Chains A and B, each alone.
Chain A
Amino acid sequence: MKSDTLKIAKWELLRYLTNRQYLISLVLTPVLMVILMSIPTLLTYFDKPRDTIFYVVDEMGILADLRAEISPPHIILKETEHSEDLASLIYQEKASGYFIIPSKFWQTGEMSFYYNKLNQEELGIIRTAMTTILRSHRMQEFKIAPDDLEYLTQSVSIERTALEKAETMDANVMILSLVFLGLIFTMIFSSGTMLMQSALQERRDRMAEIVLSSIKPTSLMQGKIIGHFLLALIQIVFWLMISLPAVIYLLKFPLFDALQASRLGLIFFFGLGGYMLYSAIYVSIGATMDDMQSAGNTQSLVMVLPVFSILFVAPIIENPEGMVSRFASLFPLSSPLAVVIRSVFVKIPLWELMLSAAILVLSIYLISRLAAKIFRVGMLMYGKTANMAEIIRWLRYRD
Chain B
Amino acid sequence: MSGLKITRLCKTYADKLVVDHISLSALRGEITGFLGPNGAGKTTTIRMIMGITAPDSGSIDFEDSDSAKIPHHLIGYLPEERGLYKDSKVINMLRFLSGLKGMDSRDVTPKAMNWLDKFGIADKAHSKIEELSKGMAQKVQFIATILHEPKYIILDEPFTGLDPVSQDLFKAELRRFADAGATILLSSHQMNILEELCDKIFLIHKGKELFHGSLSDLQDAYGNVVIKLHLEDAADIPRIVELKGIQNIKQTGAGKLELDLVESANAQSILREIPSDIVLKELSLARSGLHEIFVKIAKEGRDEV
Contacts and interface: CB of A to CB of B under 8 A. Distances in A.
Given A380-B52, A399-B53, A399-B54, A214 B100 contact: yes
B81 A213 contact: no
Interface string B246-272: 000000000000000000000000000
A207 B100 contact: no
A15 B75 contact: no
A201 B84 CA distance: 10
A74 to B, nearest CB: 56
A210 B81 CA distance: 9
Contacts of A11: 96
Among B47, B56, B99, which residue has the most Cβ atoms of chain A within 10 A? B99
Contact of B81 (A4, A201, A206): A206
B54 A398 contact: yes
Contacts of A14: 92
A212 B84 contact: no
Interface string B84-122: 111110001000110111000000000000000000000
B87 A19 contact: yes
B5 to A, nearest CB: 19
Interface string A1-35: 00010010001001100010000000000000000
Contact of A212 (B52, B54, B78, B88): B52
Interface residues of B, number: 30
B62 interface: no
A205 interface: yes
A175 interface: no
A213 B52 contact: yes
A115 interface: no
A201 B83 CA distance: 11
B73 to A, nearest CB: 8
A206 B79 CA distance: 10
Contact of B77 (A15, A210, A215): A210
Nearest to B80: A209
B218 interface: no
A213 B96 CA distance: 14
A211 interface: yes
A382 interface: yes
Nearest to A3: B102
A15, A207, A209, A398 pick with most chain B CB within 10 angstroms: A209
Contacts of B77: 210, 213
Contact of B84 (A4, A205, A209, A380): A205
Q: Looking at B52, B75, B77, B92, which has the most chain A CB atoms within 10 Å of its CB?
A: B52
Given A210-B97, A213-B77, A215-B72, A205 B83 contact: yes
Contacts of B298: none
A289 to B, nearest CB: 17
Nearest to A207: B83
Contacts of A213: 50-52, 72, 75, 77, 79
Contacts of A212: 50, 52
B99 A207 contact: no
20 contacts: A11-B96, A15-B87, A19-B87, A205-B86, A206-B81, A207-B82, A207-B85, A209-B82, A210-B78, A210-B141, A212-B52, A213-B75, A213-B77, A214-B97, A214-B100, A380-B53, A380-B81, A382-B81, A398-B56, A399-B53
Given A7-B100, A209-B79, A399-B54, 15 more contacts: A4-B100, A7-B99, A15-B87, A19-B87, A201-B85, A205-B84, A206-B82, A207-B83, A207-B84, A207-B85, A209-B81, A210-B141, A213-B79, A215-B72, A380-B81
Interface of B: 14, 47, 50-54, 56, 72-73, 75, 77-79, 81-88, 92, 96-97, 99-101, 141, 144
